[in-house]
Amino acid sequence: MTSEVETSSRLEELGYAQGLRRRLKVWHVVGLSLADVSPTMAVLLLTAGVFAIGGTFAIGANLLVAFAVMMIALCLAELGSMYPVAGGMYTLVREILPAPFAWVTMLNYLLQGIVIPASIALGIGVFLKDLIPGLHVADTIIALVALAIVTAVAVTRVEIGAWATLVMIVVELVVLSTVTVAALAHPHQNLIDVTFHPVLSNGKALATVAVGVMLTTLAPAFNVINGYDATLGFSEELIGGEQKIARAVLWAAFLASVLILIPLISAVVAAPDLNAFFADPAPVVYSVRESLGSGASKVVDVGVIVALMNANLALIMYFGRGVYTTGRDGLWPAAISRPLASLNRFHVPAAGVLTLVIPAAVLVFWSQLNWLIIFSGTIIAAVYFCIGLAAIWARITQPDVPRPFRMPLWPVPPVIVVAFTGLALVKQETQYLVGELVLIGVALALWLLSRLWTPGAMEETVAAEPVGMRAVVK
């Protein structure tokens, strides 16, 4: 109880009232984070875009990303213990870096809450039609129904969402075990070859993956092992002190990496024909189908549909709290900030949830799934780049801010994060870089406009701001 009181007290010191209720334990939060990661969804859906770009270098790319993920998690653990606020990565950058960085991070961060749920919802149709071949319903309609269902759960008590995600994670583990068993029972590719001599399909035959293609593969791979930062979004609902926030994010990052890498590698090893594997819209399901028969792939389809619903539920709950925090911070005109900062009768930010779901529902009608997936990797890498900068800058400018968790080997982790994510960004395809530059331009324009309705807003970092003086929208 003492640690819980201390955490609430820290919130008050930062200028926030305890509006969200503390009902979740560490294992609840880790479960919600793993649901956001959704290893099954990552392996069976999100890897499709990575395989399409980098062929079997998807293995190498995700091994590199897994290492970067643990470095990022160390940065998040320290910063999250310093600022236990529900705004997730947006809050961390806002408290440490200058205002323009905060707005760029916020827009990239919250856009994930629209783009990723839209891409996941569209992906449900792929697996549902594989499960029921005679189903003649547009993927967009299936996506809208899926979004409506998870929204209904997301705006109820947080414990309901936490328990729902935990039950569905059990289903995901069964599916991942099936994929792994398929590889162990019927291996067709040499693990050393596909890992250290990667190949891709040029449409007719297999070709060696060039170094340039390898570098291009890194950014979309960030969207595969992603979502462990969701632990920070539930900081204000976690029972216990700031050290538990750090523990939760580190456990989530580690489990996410392991639960994704093993079945991903197994699926490549199990593929009897790599050309057919790369050509399939769901390559990993192809491996399971070829190894264990059509019956096994049906089981996988069911599990994946559950996993996708689970991921969308956790994503919308997480990013909805991010939107809620921007309202409390008064980033927008008062007429917008006030409803965003409100909680419904279940003490859940329903307005924040709907702010994400409505544009996500619109997005499913015009964008291709793979484009969304790959662009998501770009904006994720951009946010992590800012997190790396924040982890370095906080030690320099905020040495006196309490750090319940201090990352080991500083400054190695944040330097690796900045270098790795920076390389992933500059080597991304031009169309996605242009998209990111447009986002940065919009963010900077919003920052300038924000001075019209909130004079001085986000002009100073918390290092130069008296503790407790931040405006809180009531």
* Distance separating alpha carbons of residues 183 and 180, to the nearest angstrom: 5
pLDDT at 393: 95
pLDDT at 63: 93
pLDDT at 186: 78
pLDDT at 461: 36
* Distance separating alpha carbons of residues 125 and 141, to the nearest angstrom: 9
Query: Mind listing the pLDDT tens digit of every residue in the chain (474 residues)?
Result: 445 444 556 777 877 777 777 888 888 888 888 888 888 878 877 788 888 888 999 999 999 989 999 999 999 999 999 998 888 898 999 999 998 998 999 998 888 888 888 888 888 888 888 788 888 888 889 999 999 999 998 888 766 766 777 777 777 777 778 778 877 777 888 889 989 999 988 777 888 888 888 888 887 787 788 889 989 988 888 887 788 889 999 999 999 999 899 989 988 998 888 988 988 877 887 888 787 776 777 777 888 888 888 888 888 988 999 999 999 888 899 899 999 999 888 888 999 999 999 999 988 887 565 676 667 778 888 899 999 999 999 999 999 998 999 999 999 999 999 998 898 888 778 888 888 899 999 999 999 998 887 655 444 433 333 333 344 433
* Distance separating alpha carbons of residues 157 and 141, to the nearest angstrom: 27
Beta strand ranges found along 150-220 (DSSP E): 199-201, 206-208
pTM of the model: 0.84
CB atoms within 10 A of CB 399: 9
Closest by CA to 118, choosing from 340, 411, 356, is 356
Alpha carbon separation from 429 to 67, 120, 251, 421 (Å, rounded): 23, 22, 32, 14
Q: Are 373 and 119 in contact (CB under 8 A)?
A: yes
* Distance separating alpha carbons of residues 45 and 175, to the nearest angstrom: 13
- DSSP 8-state secondary structure symbol assigned to residue 210: P
* Distance separating alpha carbons of residues 95 and 85, to the nearest angstrom: 10
Helices assigned H by DSSP within 83-157: 88-96, 99-131, 139-154
Domains, the chain, with CATH or none:
2-460 (1.20.1740.10)
Angle at 158 between CA 224 and CA 35, to 5 degrees: 15
Residue 239 phi/psi, 5-degree rounding, is -80, 120
Q: What is the phi-psi region of residue 200: left when phi exceeds 0, alpha when psi lies from -120 to 50, beta otherwise?
A: beta
* Distance separating alpha carbons of residues 397 and 242, to the nearest angstrom: 21
Alpha carbon separation from 185 to 56, 148, 258 (Å, rounded): 20, 39, 20
29, burial (CB in 10 Å: exposed 0-12, middle 13-18, buried 19+) = buried
Helices assigned H by DSSP within 14-98: 26-37, 39-41, 47-54, 57-82, 88-96
